[in-house]
Amino acid sequence: MTAIKMKQSSVNLINQIDDNDTALLEKVWLFLTTNVPTKQPELTEEQKRRLALVDELCGAFSACQTEDWKQEKEEFLFEKYGSK
């Protein structure tokens, strides 16, 4: 049996499951997500650079960092761009 036929046979079996049988569907979903590896798309250099920038700046103006985060943001922007 070829891989295409096995895949189609598996899909046909899944389609026979009653949509209201959430417990069985959940078991099938858990089995598939555990046993079938997902392919992660390869990131370009530009995407990697942007993700690194997001990681670096993530939470820079978070309310949990300082008591007065708006003042902190204003001071940062003033230092970076000069005028208010």
Q: What is the pTM of this model?
A: 0.41
Question: What is the predicted pLDDT for the residue at 71?
Answer: 81
pLDDT at position 21 is 87
pLDDT score of 55:
85
Angstrom distance (rounded) from CA 9 to CA 61: 52
Question: Using only C-alpha atoms, what is the Rg of the chain?
Answer: 25
**Read out DSSP for 2-27?**
-HHHHHHHHHHHHHTS-TT-HHHHHH
Given this model, what pLDDT does residue 65 score? 55
Give the residue ranges of the chain where pLDDT is below 50: none
In the prediction, which pLDDT does 18 show? Answer: 87
- Give the model's pLDDT for residue 8: 92
